[in-house]
Amino acid sequence: MGKKTGRFIIQTLVIAVLYFVLTFIANEFQLANGLNFQLRISEALTVLPYYTPAAIPGLFIGCLSANHAMNLPMQDVIFGSLSTLLAATVSYLVRKNKYLVPIPPIIINAFAVPAIYTFMLGFDEPPFLRSVLLVGLGEAITCGVLGIALMLGLEDYRDKLFPEYRPKDGKKASEEIKEDAGDNKTI
C-alpha cells in the first residue's frame, strides 16, 4: 500500500469515527434525528470534502454506521446515508469556493430527510414543508455556522492534517509562507 493510499484510508476512517461519535453525542440530547428539529453536530464535518476526497466515503460510512446503530428505520439508514454521500460529493465538486461547500448538505438533507419519513415511511406529522424548513434550519446551523467555524479553525493546520491539500495555485500553504518570508528579507 502506498503512502497516499494509506493516508486516504486513515483519513476516511478518522472522519467516519468522528461522525459516528459526534452523532451519538447529539443523540444523547435527542438532537440526532427527527423531523421537528435535527441538530447533528456531526454535520459540521460535511465541510471536510474541501480538504480531502477521503471525507466523501468517511462521511458516508460514519452516517451509515451511526444511523444503523441508532436503530433508525432501514429506509433512513440507506437513503439518509446515500443523501450524505451525494452531499459530500457535490461539496467536493464545489470546493474551489470554500463558502459554497456547506450548501449541498444543507439543501440535500433539508429535502431528503423529510422525503424519507413522509413518502417512504408514511409520516404525516409534521407536514412535509414544515419538516423541510426545520431540518434545513438545523443543517444551516450545523453545516453552515459550525462547518464554516470548523473550516476557519482548520486553516492553520491544513498542511499537517491534509498534506495533499493544495490552494488554487497548486502550492502548499507552507510553501506560500516560506515565499512570503523570503520576500520580506531586507538586502
Of the candidates 150, 155, 54, 33, the residue with the CA atom closest to the CA atom of residue 102: 150
Quick one: cell of 176? 506560500
Number of domains in the chain: 1
Q: How confident is the model at residue 151 (pLDDT cuts 50, 70, 90)?
A: very high
pLDDT (0 to 100) of residue 177: 43
Higher per-residue pLDDT: 172 or 29: 29
Separation of alpha carbons 41 and 25, rounded Å = 8
Q: How confident is the model at residue 144 (pLDDT cuts 50, 70, 90)?
A: very high
**Per residue in 108-137, pLDDT tens?**
999 999 999 899 888 888 889 999 999 999
Q: What is the CATH number of the domain that holds 41?
A: 1.10.1760.20
At 94, give phi and psi (nearest 5°): -100, 15
pLDDT (0 to 100) of residue 107: 98
Spatial contact of 114 and 131, defined as CB atoms under 8 Å apart = yes
Vertex 136: Cα angle to 121 and 37 (nearest 5): 65
Residue 73 has pLDDT above 70, yes or no: yes
